[in-house]
Structure 1
Amino acid sequence: MTDPTAETFEESRLSRRTLIAAAGLGALSAAASPALAQTATGAAAPPSTITNPPRDFSRRGAPTTYFWDPDIIAVDPSFNGLAQPNSAIQRLWTGALWSEGPAWSAQGRYLLWSDIPNNRQLRWLEDDGHVSVFRSPSGNSNGNSFDFQGRQLSCEHLNRRVVRYELDGSATVLADSFEGKKLNSPNDIVAHPDGSYWFTDPPYGGQLYEGAPDAPGGPSNANGKLNPRLGQPPGIGLAKRELPTNCYRIDPSGRIDLVVSEAQVPDPNGLCFSPDYKKLYVASTGKGPGDTGPGGKGDIHVFDIGADNKTSNGKRFSDCMIDGINCGPDGLRCDVEGNLWASSNAGRNVGYNGVTVFNPAAKIIGRIRLPEVCGNITFGGPKRNRLFMAASQSLYAVYLGTQGAGPG
């Protein structure tokens, strides 16, 4: 069933701009922040506005009348061939608490994503735009993907494991520990043509909102005041963080190997391969719950992948700084030309949330601005030329002039 709460919210909500005008605060807000004012009316734009005049992403909003969407920005002329000039950014759905892990099922022609705090996975159907709850509970799943056989892969915060949903409807636990120690909270996963799976294991699931804290005395519950068992099924809330925040490879044989250590990339989050599978990109995000060190710095790293499946020549790909603002990366995907598309979390820095696009040489060539923090992205659609963006409470999409590399 479609989430009735989300539909009611979408159909009945008043825009912030309307509320401000009704309260008579337009002039005051415009004076306080003239850069966000509408010059035609003098009414203040809402804090989330990134275009002028402000745009309304709701179903009642006016269509984009510009030939080139004003929130798709070509920083470099090379981006002009990647964007689709007459395609507008669309908000497909809203009503989540925190949207993450979008993945495209090519066979089913649907977009799957996680609503982590609500402990569910949602599904958007391409044929009619219908949204329904796909899986609940989901183990507070975060990252999802589909392998080369069309099987869904999910990273579960709550259960501290990686699972694969088989074509017959059963589920297989691919990884829940490394060298006898429980995983932290697997975050993102990608499939390799050799049958292996690569995933990251930061500590973000070790919090009440997105999973369960450590048992008393663990890094994310050091003083033991939190009760991680409240509201949870039996067996949850008993584990403590035991491992660094590493990146792992699951061999087709089932063996799990460490491929990128915490010393190389602290708090690894999103990851993806280059189109030729010779490079691995890994996003390093901010300090997680229970981190005793400095944590990630909100940048992207890249490694060469050898014939032995080992990484080498690691270096920082980008510091993700634009105009002095850190556009913190999370989800990563490459297109067929080798350009890297990264979601952007710039917090309250309006106009910098969305997607940042880099060419293979790490030069920023394009940006997509969204009115919400963007957590993760994926390429989808029958032609794989549509970028889906899981952004805070909503799901956005835009058609492109290029295709994504690899399965969803």
Structure 2
Amino acid sequence: MRLLIWLCCCLSLQAFAQPSHLFDVTTKPQLISRQFEFTEGPSVDKRGNIFFTDQPNNKIWEYDINGKLSLFMDKAGRANGTYFDSKGNLVACADEHNQLWQINPKKKVKVLLRNYEGKLFNGPNDLWIDKNDNIYFTDPYFQRDYWTRNKSEMSGQKLFLLSKGISKPIVLDSLVKPNGIVGTPDGKHLFVADIGAGKVYKYEIKANGTITNRQLFCSETTDGITLDELGNLYLAGKGVTIISPKGEQIGHIDIPEPWTANLCFGGKDRKTLFITASKAIYIMRMKVRGVE
């Protein structure tokens, strides 16, 4: 009887360490390229093509559904996080002048936001856009060597909402250093990584787009985040950490790079996990789909 209990415990621990229902645990992430300075901000269009940024080199790249890598845009405002709206525009956190850009399919740029109440943003970092094209974005302060300023003009580091059809954003919350952000496809919940506090928070989204009921989801120091169809949250940082809908770690994907900055699901079936990590990009085939 004791032997049976011991075997069951071992199997349980093995399942926890190796979430075989999410991916083939015998495979490793595939390196696609290591030609960049620092990769960030991946997002997926309606076809499954993935766009990502090389922020220090001021470029946006495309990794298409056929595995082709090509330059999408040069002089890209030193874009960081990106996300597609319902009309196929790529919205980018343009860190060069602390703006929010909208880039249409013909690569024409429209500046959505230049400042907040006359003050420069800290540096829009990451964003999520809901099905109604409301834009949620984080604004932490990371000093850049290409800025002429050396301190923030804002009172704190905040989470913002730019509602569709509205020209001025509103402050939703203040955090230590807000970073990665993603919402659920039903528009009911929002996850925000506070990299400064080493925590990920979960909010309820109200009918008017504002948020309420901030709760600690998990205590992890993370950069970008994304969700799969089962409600698991994927955290970028030291590799990729997978958190269940209950806030419990259920798996980890090792990435052989100093830092994993961000990630998203792409490909025709949305089962390709695309990972930006330092000077490189990786992909990993999954058994689950992404929901972004």
| C-alpha RMSD of the superposition | 2.0
Asked if 1:358 corresponds to 2:243, the answer is yes
Query: 2 CA distance for matches of 1:359 and 1:197?
Result: 25
What residue ranges of structure 1 are gaps of 5+ in the alignment? 1-72, 220-239, 286-295, 321-327, 345-352
- What is the correspondence of 1:306-385 to structure 2 with a 5 Å cutoff? 306-320=206-220, 328-344=221-237, 353-372=238-257, 373-385=259-271
Task: Tell me what 2:3 maps to.
Answer: none
Q: Percent identity?
A: 27
1:106·1:380 contact (CA, 8 Å) conserved in 2? no
2:162·2:170 contact (CA, 8 Å) conserved in 1? no
Task: Tell me what 1:62 maps to.
Answer: none
2:226·2:233 contact (CA, 8 Å) conserved in 1? yes
Task: Tell me what 1:258 maps to.
Answer: 170
* Partner secondary structure for residue 387 of structure 1: strand
Deviation at 1:367, TM superposition (A): 0.7
Residues 252-288 of structure 1 deviation map (CA, whole Å, 9 limit, x = unaligned): 11243434322xx221111000232211111112xxx
What residue ranges of structure 2 are gaps of 5+ in the alignment? 1-13
1:332·1:342 contact (CA, 8 Å) conserved in 2? yes
Deviation at 1:131, TM superposition (A): 2.6
Task: Tell me what 1:90 maps to.
Answer: 30
- What is the correspondence of 1:376-395 to structure 2 with a 5 Å cutoff? 376-395=262-281
* Partner secondary structure for residue 287 of structure 2: coil
1:279·1:305 contact (CA, 8 Å) conserved in 2? yes
Which range moves more in the overlay, 173-182 or 185-194? Answer: 173-182
TM-score scaled by length of structure 1: 0.64
| Structure 1 residues 284 and 117: CA distance shift in structure 2, 3 A | same
1:281 pairs, out of 184, 191, 194, with: 191
* Partner secondary structure for residue 275 of structure 1: coil
Task: Tell me what 1:75 maps to.
Answer: 16
Residues 47-96 of structure 1 deviation map (CA, whole Å, 9 limit, x = unaligned): xxxxxxxxxxxxxxxxxxxxxxxxxx95357x321214565420011121
1:75·1:367 contact (CA, 8 Å) conserved in 2? no
Q: Which runs of 4+ in 1 moved over 6 A?
A: none
Asked if 1:132 corresponds to 2:132, the answer is no
Task: Tell me what 2:4 maps to.
Answer: none
Deviation at 1:368, TM superposition (A): 0.4
Query: 1 CA distance for matches of 2:223 and 2:189?
Result: 18
- What is the correspondence of 1:7-406 to structure 2 with a 5 Å cutoff? 75=16, 79-85=19-25, 87-107=27-47, 109-127=48-66, 129-204=67-142, 206-208=143-145, 211-214=146-149, 218-219=150-151, 241-262=153-174, 265-285=175-195, 296-320=196-220, 328-344=221-237, 353-372=238-257, 373-406=259-292
Query: 2 CA distance for matches of 1:125 and 1:334?
Result: 21
2:80·2:126 contact (CA, 8 Å) conserved in 1? yes
Query: 1 CA distance for matches of 2:17 and 2:25?
Result: 15
TM-score scaled by length of structure 2: 0.88
Deviation at 1:213, TM superposition (A): 4.5
Residues 275-302 of structure 1 deviation map (CA, whole Å, 9 limit, x = unaligned): 32211111112xxxxxxxxxx1222111
Query: 2 CA distance for matches of 1:404 and 1:385?
Result: 7
